[in-house]
Amino acid sequence: MIKEFRLPDLGEGLTESEILSWKVAVGDTVTLNQVIAEVETAKAVVELPSPFAGTVAALHEQAGSVVEVGKPIVSFEVDDAGASPSAVAGSAAGASVENPAETAAKREPNLVGYGAVVEKSGRPARRQRSFDGSTGEREAAREAVPAVEPVPVVEQPAPLAVPSGPAAEKERPRSTPPVRKLARDLGVDLELVKGTGPGGLITRSDVQDFAAGSQPQLIAPEAAASAVGVSTERETRTPIKGVRKFTAAAMVQSAFTAPHVTEFLTVDVTPTMELLTRLKASREFAGYKLTPLTIAAKAVLIALRRNPTLNSRWDEGAQEIVQFNYVNLGIAAATPRGLTVPNIKEADKMTLLELSTALSELTDTARSGKTSPADLTGGTISITNIGVFGIDAGTPILNPGEAAIVALGSVRKAPWVHNDELAVRQVMSLSLSFDHRLVDGEQGSKFLADLGAILSDPATVMTMI
């Protein structure tokens, strides 16, 4: 029996992924959950496990191809046992297994969790919609439903239904509910947006690019197939995709939707650097990596306790300000594939030793390109350490959905007035950008002042907690 496996959505409504490499070839025998490919989403590199035990019958896409979610990528030849729905056990997001003997109306497991209720026909059951209009309106609404659904495992290929003719010209723009909500939030008229998804489907990137004033142009299939880096003596062209494409869209959206304010403070961090030296020499921290970022991250967490408004987000849809009672601390990381901002979950509950370990693991994982999609979402406030590049200060752009971001400048020796005398001290510039819808100038200034006070005299913490 031939089983076809379609590319699943590997995280939060992503519409496409690039196949970086295949770990199997046609004719190979694979086991359940064996890694068969390495794919790059717009957020991270993910290892794709096999949903079946059997033999690879065909690879439908080559390494380097950018594949739409829902498109077939590999076929397996399996026996009846290997074809059981329970074969889909492992997942990139930790999906669990349901007993195949249970009713067919239960939700089918897939690589990112559980999908919609599945009827005997194998297609997700849809909620019936009511219409006050004519039969023609009902038909137009049915045509407006996106043709590609991310059902990763099917027995028969499902052709993409691309509307054409007069009926297609009259239908509303094809998009998914999350994309339509994004368009409303950004004030974008979908009628004016050209969809670059399958069959003209309007994606999140299309809406974000339109909002930024850079409406993408449709690319012919033959041109898209040859969209690889081209170098000449005068210029080098690299396709915009993967992490770089996602980061660009996110930064444009943040810059155009959140009113940024940036404040600066230069402080004498000599006491912090002396503390760092003592901690490194202590038995408790022997073998652990301690850096100025470690101390600064802990200082940010302490300052947030006194200034919680900076740990919040603006919910446009609900017209609410959401203040978080936990801190998922984002750390901007430069990787070969572009800038990512993974976050440390529940960082506010960690000791300095635990935070040091988490920072080391986060940066090592990010640089190797193995950060999971889950670690790239849910951040509440971020730090970018521009000091490692020898930069003193900057105006960082907010990570989307967050109220503040702190930039740490380099630690430099400089003349400084200390105890009413001029002395050579180690100084650092702090830059704080915040969303002025959420954070008033007073609140942002107090947070930055608290952060500076801790770094200039760590003993100040005793008066803050």
Q: Which residues are catalytic?
A: 436
Angle, alpha carbons 40-46-47 (nearest 5°): 120
Quickly list H helices, 40-174.
135-144, 165-170
**Residues 239, 229: contact at Cβ < 8 Å?**
yes
Q: Using CA atoms, how far apart are residues 336 and 333, in angstroms rounded to an integer?
A: 10
The DSSP H or E segment spanning 444 is helix 441-456
User: What tokens appear for 251 in the block?
Assistant: 């930064």
Cβ neighbors of 274 (< 8 A, separation 6 or more) are: none
Helix, coil or strand: residue 243 = helix
In DSSP notation, 171-231 reads: SPPPB-HHHHHHHHHHT--GGGPPP-SGGGPBPHHHHHHHHTT-PPPP--HHHHHT-S-EE
Helix (H, G, I), strand (E, B) or coil at 143: helix
Alpha carbon distance 117, 114 (integer Å): 9
Q: Is 280 helix (H, G, I), strand (E, B) or coil?
A: helix
Distance of CA 230 to the CA centre of its chain: 28
Both tokens assigned to 394: 């900057």
Helix/strand/coil for 112: coil
Q: How far is CA 36 from the centre of its chain?
A: 23
Closest-CA residue to 7 (of 78, 87, 66, 64): 66
Structure tokens at 70: 């829902």
Residue of 447, 429, 330 whose CA lies nearest to 384: 330
Quick one: DSSP state of residue 434? E
Is 268 buried (19+), middle (13-18) or exposed (0-12) by CB count in 10 A? buried
Question: Nearest to residue 406, comparing CAs of 298, 286, 326, 306?
Answer: 298
* CA within 13 Å, CB half, 128: 1
* β-pair type (2-6, 29-30): unpaired
Distance CA 87, CA 110 (A): 10
Please state the length of the chain: 465
